[in-house]
Amino acid sequence: VVTDFDVIVLGAGSGGLTVAVGLARFGKRVALIERDAVGGDCTNAGCIPSKSLIHLVASDSALSPRAVLERVRAGRDRLRDEETAWVQGLEGLTLVRAAARFTSPHEVELKPEAGHEEHIRGRRIVVATGSRPSVISVDGLPAERILTNESLFELKDAPEHMAILGAGAIGCEMAFAFRRLGSRVTLVQRSERVLSRLEPEVGELIGQRLEREGVEVLVGARVDRFVEASRTLEVRQGAGAVRIDGVERVLMALGRRPNIDLDLEKAGVAVNPQGVTIDGTGRTNVRHIFAVGDVTPASGSTHAANALGRRVVRSIALRWLPAGRRPQIPAAVFTDPEVAHVGPPLAELRHRFPPELIRSVRIELADTDRGYTSGIEAGFVLLHALRLTGRVLSGTIVAPAAGEMIPLLTLAVQRRVTLWALSGLVFPYPVLSEALKKAADAFVFETLPRLPREVAAYARLRWRRRRPEPDRRSGAAHGAQVGPTVRSREG
């Protein structure tokens, strides 16, 4: 017997839970299929354990590394159990523990760990199967020395010496955390900076902070091989070779690969190596099949999976509602200080707008009153806006709790708020986010005295033909011409 559902959701991580719970609340009969643990990566091997670890190493120095890791796991397990019980109790939602694969455009085969296979049919199907860590093979490196995010939080104790391959968000966050836990940490990054996809100023500052913390940072470096006898990781850096001795574990933080091993071709769904192809509402090339979260090319965070999941709920349950604009997705990196950003970096903006049309403002936190009273040495806000109108195009904040400051900028970018408006906004005194107002003030004071010139430049430049989009993967270097006041290429 094949059971019918209004909607089948594959994967109970951040994206799948948003869709399944949302649709059940709108009265749909939903089957939620999960092959492993409810909560997916975020709850079990991502956001929750990593942020618990970062919190514990920053706050409770009395705990041993072993006790910290135990506490991380206990908190994670408690949350997962609560989430599971909550989902199981929801009306209209059936949670099935099984691995799923398509057998036809409307039918899915479920394979539980034990017991018989089962087939179910859905009017609509949502693929939310997430991603897994990319692992490279390193000559001579035994499997038992390799860590990924899936095994990292299962460690019983802090490794004596951890090498981390990849200095993106996860690599940098874990470098700070394990260093503070007492491990010797070596961070190996291929490109010339850590956090190389963000504005160059960010990587420079976070690189320095990592080094100050005692992390050995090797940039422009490539792993060659591992020699087990001396536990040496041999790395090529430029023309030279570096030997990192005594490495106990190697954490691979090299990016993610989408979980697309679902026989998607049997449903006719288009995929590429980056994941399932979707439009802005989460719909695939097959009208009744949607995809959300890390299995799609445009995600990579829980809030992105959640935001797209909400759009899918809307498309399915409230079809008469217009889709609306795609939301801006900010991002945060929980290093010390934190980094948060929204909108494209300057290098990318320069391909969308004539560079002379962009004004960039950077304010150091140390130059704000709250920065002064809190003794903040490092941190800044960096905003890019259109000249004259001051429309905020993107922004980066490096500050303690930068993630808490970014929503104001997200709103500005999303709703096309201008620096003129931000300059008129009243902030309580003294708060760090006043740096945003200071940036807006700097723009206003620079623009007002030369208004006629600004109007003429804007009129000349605004509708000039744009250059084609850059290849995002090339990570083309750029030099942001920014200082404490506003500058553009025209000056």
Tell me the longest C-alpha to C-alpha distance in the chain.
Answer: 77
Among positions 87-126, residues that touch ligand FAD (CB under 6 A) are 99-100
Contact 168, 195 (CB under 8 A): yes
Regarding 284 and contact with ligand FAD (CB under 6 A), the answer is no
Helix (H, G, I), strand (E, B) or coil at 462: coil
| Residue 129 binding ligand FAD, by CB under 6 A | yes
With a CB cutoff of 8 Å and minimum separation 6, the contacts of 109 are: 100, 101, 102, 103, 117, 118, 119
Look at residues 221, 261, 24, 287 and name the one whose alpha carbon lies nearest to residue 131. 261
Q: Is 84 in the site for ligand FAD (CB under 6 A)?
A: no
Give the DSSP per-residue string, 109-129: EEE-SSS--EEEEEEEEEE--
Q: State the nearest-atom distance from the C-beta of 334 to ligand FAD, in Å.
A: 6
Q: Judged by CB under 6 A, which stretch of 46-54, 319-327, 366-374, 419-427 contacts ligand FAD?
A: 46-54
Distance CA 156, CA 174 (A): 16
Query: In whole angstroms, how close is the CB of 109 to ligand FAD at the nearest point?
Result: 10
Position among 201, 294, 336, 434 found at the interface with ligand FAD (CB under 6 A): 294
| Residues 302-325 as b or e (16 or more Cβ within 10 Å = b) | bbbbbbbbbbbbbbbbeeeeeeee
Site for ligand FAD in 3-22 (CB under 6 A): 10-16
Residue closer to ligand FAD, measured from CB, 274 or 485:
274
Of residues 168 and 354, the one with the C-beta less far from ligand FAD: 168
To 5 degrees, how large is the angle CA 67–CA 69–CA 74?
A: 90
Choices 42-50, 182-190, 359-367, 413-421 (CB under 6 A): range interacting with ligand FAD:
42-50
Burial zone of 464 (CB within 10 Å; 0-12 exposed, 13-18 middle, 19+ buried):
exposed
Residue at 369: amino acid letter: D
Q: Judged by CB, which is closer to ligand FAD: 32, or 235? A: 32
34 binds ligand FAD (CB under 6 A): yes
Stretch that binds ligand FAD, among 77-85, 129-137, 231-239, 405-413 (CB under 6 A): 129-137
Q: Measured from the CB of residue 159, what is the shortest distance to ligand FAD in angstroms?
A: 16
Check: CB of residue 194 under 8 Å from CB of residue 211.
no
431 contact partners, CB below 8 Å, separation of at least 6: 370
Encoded amino acid at 413, one letter: V
Annotate each residue in 239-268 with x if it binds ligand FAD (CB under 6 A) or - if it does not, as one string. Answer: --------------------x--x------
**Residue 177 makes contact with ligand FAD by CB under 6 A:** no
Question: What's the closest the beta carbon of residue 112 comes to ligand FAD, in angstroms?
Answer: 10
Beta strand pairing call for 338-342 and 392-399:
antiparallel
* Stretch near ligand FAD under the rule CB under 6 A, chosen from 32-40, 228-236, 349-357, 428-436: 32-40
Binding residue for ligand FAD (CB under 6 A) from 42, 69, 307, 436?
42
DSSP assignment of 281-342 equals TSB-SSTTEEE-GGGSTT--SHHHHHHHHHHHHHHHH-TTS---PPPP--EEE-SSSEEEEE
Candidates 25, 80, 190, 303; binder of ligand FAD (CB under 6 A) is 303
Letters for 454-483 (x = contact with ligand FAD by CB under 6 A, - = none) are: ------------------------------
Binding to ligand FAD by residue 168, rule CB under 6 A? no
The residues of the shown chain that bind ligand FAD, judged by CB under 6 A, are: 10-16, 33-36, 40-42, 46-47, 50-51, 99-100, 128-131, 149, 170, 259, 262, 293-295, 299-303, 305
